[in-house]
Amino acid sequence: MFSWGYSVSSQALSSVSAVSARLRRLATQVRHAPARPAAVSFPKMISRGLDPSCIRFGTSSFSSKDWIGPFYPRGTSPRDFLPFYATRFDTVEIDATYYAIPAPAIVESWSARTPPHFLFAAKFPREIVHGGMGPEPDPKRLLLPDTTYRARDAFLEVMRILGPRLGPLVLQFPFMSTHVFPHPEAFWERLDRFLYDLPRDLDIAVEIRNPDWIGAPVLQLCRDRRAALVLVDQSWMPHGDEVERDADPITAHFAYVRLLGDRHIIENVTTTWGKEVLDRRPRIDRWADLLARLMAREVPTFVYANNHYAGHAPATVERLKQAFRNKVEERRSPEEPEPARSPVTAPGTE
């Protein structure tokens, strides 16, 4: 859990409904702003698609105090974590929104402490994708309009405060046992309705944790709704290149990758997150290959690593970035010059 000033969900909903007139005007301005372009506005692809800046790398969360020393300079206060983080990475995935909708002031502070090109991805709240706090998802609540749309609207209103810094929003679903959905078709129907009802200007990613559900039906559903199917690295899920082997895994104008690992395995080794303790190099090399192929296709891609993947997310990201750069160099012909460096451009500022 995080101590960033979040209230419990019911309190957060009340806070959102009582937000000041100033914030309401801001949310209205963002809501009525022109829709986002049909693709994330990364720098224009150059050098025959070989522009590494179309791949954004970051971590899942930025608040770990175990990172003080290995990543954050010693003596850094939690309030200064995000500004320093934004000097190293150009995106972050906010995990805390899964547990509660943040207060508007918190979201405003994220925006104020990051540069214009920085992007925030965030998870939809648990009450939407899980249907409650029970150990198993609640099929009587999950994704249903009467039980989740109020929370959905409150979440989206708050996240829109980020304006051009708002990146993809992630529907992270848990494993669905046959007690919850005896057949996946009932879940697909519900997901399809939920995606259809979302505003069209949002970038949405969908994470499925049933390995046998990764196939043609979900790929087509996501493609029809212009949502990115999350390519995830977990012990029981197919690696992204295995998904790619069977079908085109790109279902939207962007791709979304999460390196999550296995919580139970790594917590038998460590419960602190200051260094890598698992050797993930073979899997990281495969991800680097896949990212190089996505770059060659000019697919803007968001990549996030979790502490539970190898033990220290920032180091994992740097390791993956280096492996990716090596793959890019391998793909360039000897005569081809390195593309000119260009800063990442925020959506709507080109």
pLDDT classification of 334: cutoffs 50, 70, 90:
low
Which pLDDT score is estimated for 11?
Answer: 43
What are the helix (H) ranges across 32-159? 81-88, 104-112, 126-129, 145-159
> Quick check: 39 pLDDT over 70?
no
* Beta-carbon contacts of residue 282 (< 8 Å; ≥ 6 apart): none
Which pLDDT score is estimated for 51?
Answer: 66
Answer yes or no: are the C-beta atoms of 261 and 234 closer than 8 Å: yes
User: By three-state DSSP, how is residue 159 classified?
Assistant: helix
Residue numbers of the domain that contains 156: 54-331
| Average predicted confidence (pLDDT) for the chain | 85
Domain of 268: which CATH number? 3.20.20.410
**Does 93 map to a domain?**
yes
**Does 325 map to a domain?**
yes
**Does 337 map to a domain?**
no
Residue 47 class from Cβ within 10 Å (0-12 exposed, 13-18 middle, 19+ buried)? middle
User: What is the maximal distance between C-alpha atoms in the chain?
Assistant: 61
pLDDT classification of 152: cutoffs 50, 70, 90:
very high
What are the helix (H) ranges across the chain? 9-17, 21-31, 81-88, 104-112, 126-129, 145-159, 184-197, 216-224, 240-246, 263-267, 281-296, 307-310, 313-331
Which pLDDT score is estimated for 344?
Answer: 44
Instruction: Name which of 37-41, 237-241, 295-299, 314-318 the model is least confident about.
Output: 37-41
Report which residue type is found at 110.
W
**Does 208 map to a domain?**
yes
**Does 17 map to a domain?**
no
> Quick check: 48 pLDDT over 50?
no
Mean pLDDT along residues 120-130: 97
The span from the first CA to the last CA of the chain, in angstroms, equals 37
**Does 48 map to a domain?**
no
> Quick check: 348 pLDDT over 60?
no
Answer yes or no: are the C-beta atoms of 89 and 344 closer than 8 Å: no
228-265 pLDDT, tens per residue? 999 999 999 999 999 999 999 999 999 999 999 999 99
**Does 23 map to a domain?**
no
**Does 252 map to a domain?**
yes
Domains: count for the chain: 1
